[in-house]
Amino acid sequence: MTDSASIFATGNIPDAPRSDLPELLVALAADLRAVGYTVDGVAAFLGAAASSALNRDQLIPALIVTGQAVKADPGARALAAVVSLWLLAVPQPPEEIDAALPGIRTAGLLELGLVELDDGAVAAKADLRPYGWDANEDGSGGAELWVSSDLAAHQRAGVLRHDHVLGIGQASTTLVQTTIRRHTERALDLGTGCGIQTFHLLHHCDHVTATDISERALAFTRFNLLLNAEALHLDPKNLEARVSLRLGSLLEPVAGEHFGLVVSNPPFVITPRSTGESASEQFTYRDGGLPGDDIVASLVRTLFGVLAPGGTAQMLGNWEITAGTRWSERPKSWLDGSGTDAWFIQREQVGPEQYAETWLQDASETRDRGHYQESYAAYLADFASRNVEGIGFGMIWLRRPADTANAASGENAADTGNAAAISRFEEITYPIEQPVGPHLGASVERADWLAAHHLAEAHLVVAEDVTEERHQRPGAEHPGVILLRQGAGLRRTNLLSTELAGFVSACDGELSVRQIIGALAALLGGGEDFEPEAFRAGLLEEVGNLVRDGFLLPEGH
């Protein structure tokens, strides 16, 4: 169990919003709700075009809309003032904020540390924006929140502070959409930042431990949790009953503990290291302080130790691709002999130049030409020192196999023991359905089903989202290409052989896999070179792949 000294329970540290003033937090939440400062409220106020531009960090369309809205409708003045203050980082007259947020007023915002006075105007000291997600079909699980973080590069001048606390970004929402949601007693949010992953975990986990190496990040998380206590079903007077905030690096704060689910958007950015560099010179929200991709490698190798039997981990990461190798070679090396089930999906691959440009711009390090040139050169030299020609980005799923007594299931459980290890390394760079988490979870369940059942005895049906395409030359008697396409989830496309296409067309649940393969063997066999056993084994393997990928499903599933 972790040392109690690592537990973060303060609500008042320099340069972070205060969470030790519960009356003001209640008043702020009530005011924001009353003025319509919600995801839907802001979207309706700005309109589709300005909202889309704002999501790309472009402020001008929203500035134009805000000014026009106030002229056209004085009743929109209150929401315009709040949107301008926090989303657009435009200082507002105190009287405008007092009128828009009458419960907390400017004085309360100053006391919380969310704003400061700049030449008499109220200026945002931190970002505060609406965030939420829709409820399930049964009405459960939705949330309407507000999230505070540091002002982003497009909202302020100069290079970001090195202990910058990142807000809602593409990486954090990608992890949210990727995570497989299931009830878990204890979950770990490793590197919580401003708390985005923790908010979602609280809706399907009994207790969440959130860690970060940054004290400021934990202060923002604590503020966000208590500001949204009602929506997150938290008792403000007993936050620790459901959330534990831990200060420390990587897995140190939870040494000796075990979790059913770990999620992490770690500081995976590959950044050049310099001799004698201190932690204060690194951007804590993105730089792990280790050379190359060692931060991701270290987590992949060690997360097994904090997972309960059957527990899973999901994270995002970068990995280096050296010249002359496949992208998957390095991630595979992190798992050699570990016994961990693993699934890596590479979503993007870029060269050293594009990688350097992306992350130098991310921290606003492009504004000083001399600094930009020096930093750019350092990136290229660092990658060249390891013969790196590409950097991959993607999603990682890991699982600690369950105990034998718990893992086996199904009619032949005694024969299968633990579920067969999942070891998948694939590249999917085209658009996929979001959220993809439910589809990833279904894929894992199908892999476990295949490990626990005799596929030959199963009765299969074609999934509802699957369509078939046939292409042939004009005048040709038979199609030259037969494709199966998925309309949902990972939206895979599978090229079918003639016999596999025949198999799929017969999958209506009536006949078993063995019966369909037998019929195809009788129909297509008979030649001198035909080997019945090889035909059956090969087709059975291909059918297993179609089940694993969700083209075919066991009847009733």
How far apart (Å, rounded) are the C-alpha atoms in residues 26 and 12? 17
DSSP state of 160: P
Would you call 54 helix, strand, or coil by DSSP?
helix
- Mapped to the 3 state alphabet, what secondary structure does 455-500 carry? HHHCEEEECCCEEEEEECCCCCCCCCEEEEEECCCCCCEEECCHHH
pLDDT at position 29: 98
Q: What is the pLDDT of residues 481-510, one digit of tens each?
A: 999 999 999 999 999 999 999 999 999 999
- Following DSSP, what letter does each residue of 361-378 receive, concatenated? HHTTTTSSHHHHHHHHHH
Residue 476: pLDDT band by 50, 70, 90 thresholds? confident
Nearest by Cα to 471 from 485, 463, 483, 489 = 483
Q: What is the pLDDT of residues 534-556, one digit of tens each?
A: 999 999 999 999 999 999 999 87
Mean pLDDT for 32-51 is 97
* End-to-end Cα separation, the chain, in angstroms: 41
pLDDT at position 282: 59
Nearest by Cα to 167 from 20, 265, 43 = 265
Residue 289: pLDDT band by 50, 70, 90 thresholds? low
Q: What is the pLDDT of residues 109-139, one digit of tens each?
A: 999 999 999 999 999 999 999 999 987 765 6
H/E stretch holding 314: strand 307-322
Q: What are the structure tokens assigned to 177, written together?
A: 């959409």
pLDDT at position 159: 75
How far apart (Å, rounded) are the C-alpha atoms in residues 134 and 166? 23
- Cα 261 to Cα 182, 205, 206, 310, 314, distances in angstroms: 9, 9, 11, 9, 8
pLDDT at position 415: 36
Residue 292: pLDDT band by 50, 70, 90 thresholds? confident
With respect to CATH, is domain 22-151+170-397 assigned 3.40.50.150? Answer: yes
Residue 59: pLDDT band by 50, 70, 90 thresholds? very high
Rg (CA), the chain: 27
Does pLDDT of 158 surpass 80? no
Cis peptide preceding 74, ω within 30 of 0: no
Would you call 178 helix, strand, or coil by DSSP?
helix
Residue 7: pLDDT band by 50, 70, 90 thresholds? confident
How far apart (Å, rounded) are the C-alpha atoms in residues 311 and 398? 8
pLDDT at position 108: 98
pLDDT at position 276: 54
Q: Where are the chain's structural domains? A: 22-151+170-397, 459-554
Does pLDDT of 414 surpass 50? no
Mean pLDDT for 360-368 is 76
Residue type, 213: I
Residue 247 forms beta bridges with which residues?
Answer: 212
Does pLDDT of 77 surpass 90? yes
Residue 72: pLDDT band by 50, 70, 90 thresholds? confident
For the question of whether the overall pTM of this predicted structure is more than 0.95, the answer is no
Angle (CA) 113 118 122, round 5°: 60
Residue 6: pLDDT band by 50, 70, 90 thresholds? confident
Pairing mode of beta strands 184-190, 259-264 = parallel
Does pLDDT of 409 surpass 50? no
pLDDT at position 407: 39
Does pLDDT of 39 surpass 90? yes
pLDDT at position 545: 97
Phi, psi dihedral angles at 462 (to 5 degrees)? -80, 135
Residue 94: pLDDT band by 50, 70, 90 thresholds? very high
Helix H segments across 409-464? 413-416, 437-452
pLDDT at position 410: 35
Q: What is the pLDDT of residues 229-250, one digit of tens each?
A: 999 999 999 999 999 999 999 9
Mean pLDDT for 66-91 is 92
pLDDT at position 274: 60
Residue 73: pLDDT band by 50, 70, 90 thresholds? confident
Alpha-carbon dihedral 343, 347, 349, 354, rounded to 10 degrees: -140
Does pLDDT of 318 surpass 90? yes
In the predicted model, what is the mean pLDDT of the chain?
90
pLDDT at position 548: 97
pLDDT at position 426: 96
H/E stretch holding 116: strand 115-118
CATH of 459-554, one of 2.70.98, 1.20.120, 3.30.2420, 3.90.930: 3.90.930
Does pLDDT of 283 surpass 90? no
Mean pLDDT for 293-317 is 95
pLDDT at position 327: 97
Residue type, 107: A
Query: What is the longest distance spanned by two Cα atoms in the chain?
Result: 93
